[in-house]
Amino acid sequence: AQTVTQSQPEMSVQEAETVTLSCTYDTSESDYYLFWYKQPPSRQMILVIRQEAYKQQNATENRFSVNFQKAAKSFSLKISDSQLGDAAMYFCAFTGNQFYFGTGTSLTVIP
Amino acid sequence: GAVVSQHPSWVICKSGTSVKIECRSLDFQATTMFWYRQFPKQSLMLMATSNEGSKATYEQGVEKDKFLINHASLTLSTLTVTSAHPEDSSFYICSARNGKRQPQHFGDGTRLSIL
């Protein structure tokens, strides 16, 4: 069975600091993509970053970067210089033959 | 790019009414569209997957006669909640993608309240 696990239901970070959200997944597929989505209080789902499994280089989008460890099946999201607008639910997602979401991590940014 | 429009954003109606929610991909062709239901502070629960021109595939436990899905074109899918009851009140969100390994792009969701 393919699963996506986010072991941190809640996280908090001081404004301007760095925080890392963890995600692990289980799959027997070799060709897949991983994503992080952000859902602010408005409940809109926003794609933050994507990573192709065949790429060794970690994806980066401005203040957001991932640490993709394929052998360990780990896909963590690092948010640098945290801003108040980063406060949201963050969902890790996997797409191969099927699409799976993690249970989410609620991030609070402390002013 | 990759904009998905979902309407209406909020519906309040009486028990027994049928409600239709539209999901449109505005600037790309969506080979697959998805319908989710989300309860407060929980992850998205996949209800069904639809491919253009074919019947939707429903997840286990989702009543297909209750939640009618039509994916008539590459840019439009509709979800009709038939004879809605208070327990159907929830946040429904659609998404679309244009390839199997592509990310899903989400609509803004529909908050459905059945009185």
pLDDT digits (tens, 9 = 90+) for A75-110: 999 999 999 999 999 999 999 878 889 999 999 999
| Spatial CA neighbour of A20 closest among A6, A35, A40 | A6
Identify all chain B residues contacting A44, using CB atoms and an 8 Å cutoff: 106, 108-109
Whether B31 and chain A come into contact, CB under 8 Å, resolves to no
φ and ψ at A34, to 5 degrees? -125, 145
Identify all chain B residues contacting A95, using CB atoms and an 8 Å cutoff: 100-104
pLDDT at residue B15 above 90? yes
Q: Sign of torsion, CA B98 A94 A61 B23?
A: positive
pLDDT digits (tens, 9 = 90+) for A65-83: 999 999 999 999 999 999 9
pLDDT at residue B76 above 70? yes
Q: Which residue of A has its CA nearest to B37?
A: A43
Look up tokens 């404004």; give the residue.
Answer: A15
Q: Which tokens sit at A16?
A: 């301007």
Look at B42 and A44 and tell me if their CB atoms are within 8 Å. no
Q: What is the DSSP letter of A71?
A: T
